Chain A
Amino acid sequence: MQIRNVLALAAMMAVPAFTAGAQFTTVVAPPPAQKQAVAVAAAAAKAAPSDTGHRATLREMSAWVDSVAGAPAPTVVADSATGDVALASDTTSAPVAARGDDAGTTKFADGARAPNTASPLPLILVAGLGALLVGAWLLVTGPRPEPAAVEPRRRAR
């Protein structure tokens, strides 16, 4: 077969292929599956700005209603442990335990826990000394390198 015929045959095979490819580009994509729509909705809900407002909890409703009716406005007491905001009519009328985190009480309140005075320093010091001693013992009592390379040389001679 001559080269000219080969080229002609290749051109005949290539032209329909290009045409077919152009047709395929016009194919309308099928609608996305339902799962994809759900995922997109979930992502959008996640990306939406969250509500940073605090949840308000009303305690002692009768006292609060009375205060709204004419008594002084209730005091807003922020509870740092839960992030909630509570409305209390009188914070001094009843003993309120000063709830803090694990660090303990840091401010005086009637009914508060005693401050946390347990220091981790002694434990850290003892652990450090223990590790230091064990490490030194491992280094000191480890197998020492043998005085090698002397005997074989003598044998070689």
Chain B
Amino acid sequence: MRGRLAAGIALVVAGSALVAWAGNAYARGWLAQERARGEWAQELAHAEVAKGRAIALGTPASAPAEGAPVARLLIPKIALDDIVLEGVTPSALNGGPGHLPGSSLPGAEGNAVISAHRDRHFRRLGELAIGDTISTQTLGDRVTWRVVSRRVVNREAPAIRKESGRVLTLTTCWPIGYLGGAPDRLILRAVPVEPRAATAAPSNHLAIAPDANESPR
């Protein structure tokens, strides 16, 4: 009787603590993404000024700080519209998809690697198939991509490669619907749909706002 009561109270207390801890982490992630949306809108508003200043002063663009918004990622098929944050540490990934430091920014020459948690921002990434379109927006470029390969590899496999052209790589853990550790990784590789010259014009079939002041949703 007394032992049952004590066990029940202990389980309720422990369970409440775990739920509160996880809920707090989810809430902080949601707040970080909302904050990034606001910062991204401001960055877009000042992007042209900053670009002109950098060109005038001849200062090279510095690497973004961890957690700073670096791009906007849109995948219409899975209704994804998130701000990509710099870094793939747990704290950065808690706030949104993370840009792998050292890789290219989406639209620049090279391989741009973006990763996200399989239980949040990329929870529907497995629905993408070859031929689906992805859109990215950085401070200086808008690019529409087409998925050209989709593969599941072991987590120890060397899945990240240098690329000569413009490539976008999206990664998340696999299998997506499981709890706990992930033995594999889902790797999606995409290339630009149109040549670079055409990317300056606003895309017709993707809802990227031409207005810099629009807040992404």
Q: Give residues in A with beta carbon < 8 Å to B.
A: 95, 97-98, 103-139, 142-143
Contacts and interface: CB of A to CB of B under 8 A. Distances in A.
A105 B181 CA distance: 15
B147 interface: no
A125 B29 CA distance: 15
Contacts of B5: 138-139, 142
Given A104-B88, A111-B158, A113-B157, A118 B103 contact: no
B117 interface: yes
A118 B15 contact: no
24 contacts: A106-B101, A108-B100, A108-B113, A113-B185, A114-B115, A114-B153, A114-B185, A115-B113, A116-B155, A117-B182, A119-B119, A119-B120, A128-B14, A128-B16, A128-B17, A128-B19, A130-B15, A131-B11, A132-B12, A132-B16, A135-B13, A138-B4, A138-B5, A138-B11
Interface stretch (B44-52, B76-84, B171-179, B199-207): B171-179
B160 A139 contact: no
B156 to A, nearest CB: 6
B198 interface: no
B160 A105 contact: yes
Interface class of chain B by DSSP = mixed
Nearest to B22: A125
A98 B101 CA distance: 13
A13 B156 CA distance: 87
Contacts of A142: 1, 4-5, 8
B98 interface: yes
Nearest 6 CB-CB pairings of A with B: A128-B18, A135-B11, A132-B15, A131-B15, A108-B102, A138-B8
Contacts of B172: 117
Contacts, number: 160
A139 B8 contact: yes
Contacts of A111: 158, 160-161
B41 to A, nearest CB: 26
Interface in B74-115: 87-90, 93-94, 98, 100-103, 111, 113, 115
Contacts of A103: 89-90
A128 B22 contact: yes
Contacts of A130: 15
B117 A135 contact: no
A113 B173 CA distance: 12
B168 interface: no
A122 B155 contact: no
B217 to A, nearest CB: 23
Given A105-B160, A116-B173, 11 more contacts: A108-B100, A110-B160, A115-B100, A115-B171, A116-B155, A116-B182, A117-B182, A128-B17, A130-B15, A137-B8, A142-B4
Contacts of A137: 8
Contacts of B159: 112-114
A113 B155 CA distance: 7
A121 B113 contact: no
B60 interface: no
B26 interface: yes
A106 B89 contact: yes
Interface in B18-34: 18-23, 25-26
B180 interface: yes
